[in-house]
Amino acid sequence: MKNKLCSKNNQHSFTARYFSSTKSIASDDWRAFLNNQNLYLSIAYLNALEIGLPSYSFRYVLFYNKDEKVVGLAYFQIIHITENDIKFEALSNKMNGLLPNSLKKWIKTRLLICGNAFATGENGFLFSDDVLKNDRLQLIDEATKYIIDKEDIQNRRISISLIKEFWDRNNLMSSKFVNYGYHELNIDVNMIAQIDSNWTSFNDYMNALNSKFRTKTKQVFKKSENLDIIDFNIITIKERLSEIEELYNHMVDRSSFSFGRLNANTLLKLKENLGKAFYFKGYLLNDKLIGFATATRIDKELDGNFIGIHHQYNKDYSVYQRILYDFITCAIDERLKTVRLGRTAEEIKSGVGAMPNVMKFYAKHQNRFKNSIIKPFLSLLRPSEFNLRRPYKKRNMIKKGA
């Protein structure tokens, strides 16, 4: 279906085409414009999520100029959030205890997310350099409204729209979403480890650490030496599906907030569709899966995605920290530049050399009155505080990335 969209100054006109599945999408147009710029926007990746999550809804948008040339694309997820996805007490604590209990009833809702609930970073839209920044924001806003209106007609009301999530370096552009009624939110930082271009092995990384953290690293490898750490392929993932599911759910259940929940079948489909671009390691003790880790290889980055751990084994075998070191090992071996370790456990991640990178996203309640009410509470959200560790020798300090 098509809908004509115009920029505010009426100097440019655009047409948008909307699709509800990767099967119906104008794939040639999508692939040609994307040109391998973002794996998270590739049809192979999006198709894996779509097949693995049949209870979710997805929307894909292609923007054309007056000459019918593709000048942009956007990706949306529609997610049903319940009280089980949010630990209200933890969320209230992040707002200094000022979140009223009366807002609990608003938690159960349908969200429209421009971007990806399951991957951090700017994965919601991509435009040609020919499209002015103000036009990009207006096109995303109008596409969001169009999707919400279509859902409303079919009695599938969407209460909240989110646009996620932007690196601080792009704040000058993204902050203008407030002009469309959105509220800017500061979310937990993304911990990113820079990989020195001179490192050719993990030993080089070890030699860059100061004596305290070099000793800690050796202790982690000593405690984890009895683990069998293997690269999972399609066959091994299928054999361990139930164990993977159990470990993943255990991690999500312990988190204070989750936009949505994946499943082991989705991870399997990602491996099938992405192949070597999807890193998947299993951590076994006496043939029992006690941990797994996945990541996506994007250009010169390794983006850590999903982790599952049996916490009863974590202390004795340092599973979590070994996972972090294995990410770094992979990046060094493959000559990558950075490892995105994601949010949470910031102090531990800083202990392996990661530095905090600020990220923001934008939220709007479709009810104007409620949107005005939640503004002061959303402004209370702040990234979690933590002690930043500095594991490198001063002469080997890696600069803050991203």
Task: Give 10-residue mean pLDDT values along the chain (402 residues).
Answer: 48 88 96 96 96 93 95 95 59 52 62 92 94 93 95 88 86 84 86 96 96 96 97 97 93 69 92 97 97 95 94 95 98 97 91 93 85 67 82 68 39
Is 12 within the bounds of a domain?
yes
- Please give the residue range of the domain that contains residue 170: 2-187+359-378
Model pLDDT, residue 174: 81
Total structural domains within the chain = 2
Asked whether residue 401 is domain-assigned, the answer is: no
What is the predicted pLDDT for the residue at 10?
43
Residues 70 and 44 in one domain: yes
Are the C-beta atoms of 339 and 301 separated by less than 8 Å?
Answer: yes
Local structure of residue 96 (DSSP, 8 states): T
pLDDT value for 92: 52
Question: What's the CA gap between 135 and 156, in Å, rounded?
Answer: 28
Same domain, 241 and 351: yes
d(CA 153, CA 176): 29
Q: How far is CA 159 from CA 57, 151, 164, 378, in A?
A: 15, 11, 16, 16
Residues 177 and 257 in one domain: no
Residues 331 and 370 in one domain: no
Concatenate the DSSP letters of all residues of 119-185 into one string: S-SS-SEEE-TTS-HHHHHHHHHHHHHHHHHHHHHTT----EEEEEEEEGGGHHHHGGGGGGT-EEE
Whether 202 and 336 map to the same domain: the answer is: yes
Considering the domain architecture, whether residues 342 and 374 belong to the same structural domain is answered as no
Residue 1 has a pLDDT of 55
User: Between vectors from CA 341 to CA 254 and to CA 97, what angle results, nearest 5°?
Assistant: 45
SS (H, E, C) 181-193: CCEEEEEEEEEEE
Predicted local distance difference test score (pLDDT) of residue 257:
59
Mark whether 293 and 391 lie in a shared domain.
yes
Same domain, 46 and 158: yes
CA dihedral (104, 106, 111, 116) positive or negative: negative
C-alpha dihedral over 89, 165, 363, 380, to 10 degrees? 50
Pairwise CA distance, residues 338 & 297, whole Å: 10
| DSSP single-letter state for residue 10 | S
Give the pLDDT of residue 146: 96
Spatial separation of the C-alpha atoms in residues 117 and 120, rounded to whole Å: 8
Tell me what pLDDT residue 250 has: 86
Q: Answer yes or no: are the C-beta atoms of 117 and 77 closer than 8 Å.
A: yes
Same domain, 177 and 58: yes
CATH number for the domain spanning 341: value is: 3.40.630.30
Beta pairing partners, 365: 160
Q: What are the DSSP E strand ranges found in 198-287?
A: 228-231, 278-285
Same domain? For 155 and 255 the reply is no
- In contact, 80 and 129? CB cutoff 8 Å: no
pLDDT score recorded for residue 99 = 52
Compute the distance between CA of residue 206 and CA of residue 219 in angstroms, rounded to an integer.
12
Residue 196: predicted pLDDT: 96
On whether the CB atoms of residues 337 and 63 are closer than 8 A, the answer is no
**120 contacts 190 by C-beta, under 8 angstroms:** yes
CA angle 146, 163, 195 (to 5 degrees): 145
Residue 134 domain flag: yes
Same-domain pairing of 85 and 147 = yes
Same domain membership, residue 370 and residue 277: no
**Domain for residue 319, yes or no?**
yes
Query: Is residue 371 assigned to a domain?
Result: yes
316: left (phi over 0), alpha (psi -120 to 50) or beta: alpha
Supply φ then ψ for residue 294, to 5 degrees: -125, 155
- Identify whether 402 is part of a domain: no
N- to C-terminal Cα distance for the chain? 38
Residue carrying the six token digits 């729209």? 161
Q: What is the pLDDT of residue 152?
A: 87
